[in-house]
Structures are given as C-alpha cells and as structure tokens.
Structure 1
Amino acid sequence: MSAGEKVRAKAEQIVGKAVKMAGHAMHNRSAEIKGAALETRGEARDAKERTKGHFRR
C-alpha cells in the first residue's frame, strides 16, 4: 500500500466521522448521511489498498 493512498483513505475516514457526528449534533440528517458516505468511501479505499498489498507479496 502506498503511503499516499493510505493517508488519503485514513483522512477520508476521519473527515467522514467528523461530518457524521457534527450532522448528528446539529440534527442535520443530510450532513449525517454525507459523513457516513465519506467514512464508508475511506474504508473501501483502505480495503482496496490492503487487497492490492496481499497480491504483491
């Protein structure tokens, strides 16, 4: 897994979690959903990179 992609995936997860929690605190359902989507996209990117790493070994 390249370092840049790993950082990008983790950053998406952190930003997504923050947006989701902020949306929840403000009772803003659309922000909550967007945050969850960002978090999921970061998790998917991380899984993709880990999978690529397993095939390169």
Structure 2
Amino acid sequence: MGLDDKIGNKGEGLGGKIKEGLGKATGDQNLEAEGHKDQTKASLKDAGENIKDAFKKGDR
C-alpha cells in the first residue's frame, strides 16, 4: 500500500471520528451516523489494501 493511500485512509477515518463526535455533542444523529460510516469506509479501504499487500508479498 502506498504511503498516500495510508495517509488518505487515516485522514478519512479521523474526519469521520470528528464528525461522529460533533454529532454526539450536538445531538445530530445524522452527522453522528455519517461520521461512523466514514470511519467504517476508511477501515474497509485499509483492509483491502492490506490484502493487496499480502498478495504482493506472496509473489516474491
């Protein structure tokens, strides 16, 4: 996985965490859910990249 992918996924996850926290603080359930969704999406992207990396390492 490229460094730019790692940074992008971490940034997306952090943004989601912030959205979720703001949603909780303000009682905005939609914002909270959107933040949770962003975090989940970032985690899934990381998992997919890790699988790709594992296959690349196996080809050596």
TM over 0.5: yes
Question: 2: distance between equivalents of 1:24 and 1:54?
Answer: 37
Matches within 5 A, 1:12-51: 12-51=12-51
1:53 aligns with 2:39: no
In the superposition, the TM-score normalised over structure 2's length comes to 0.91
With CA pairs under 8 Å and 6+ residues apart, which has the higher RCO, 1 or 2?
A: 1
Count of residue pairs the alignment pairs up: 57
Deviations 1:1-44 (A, max 9, x none): 11111111111110001100110000000000000000101101
Percent identity of equivalent pairs: 28
Q: Once superposed, which parts of structure 1, at least 4 consecutive aligned residues long, lie more than 6 Å away? A: none
- Structure 1: unaligned runs, 5 residues or longer: none
- Structure 2: unaligned runs, 5 residues or longer: none
- Matching residue of 1:3: 3
SS of match in other structure, 2:22: helix
In the superposition, the TM-score normalised over structure 1's length comes to 0.96
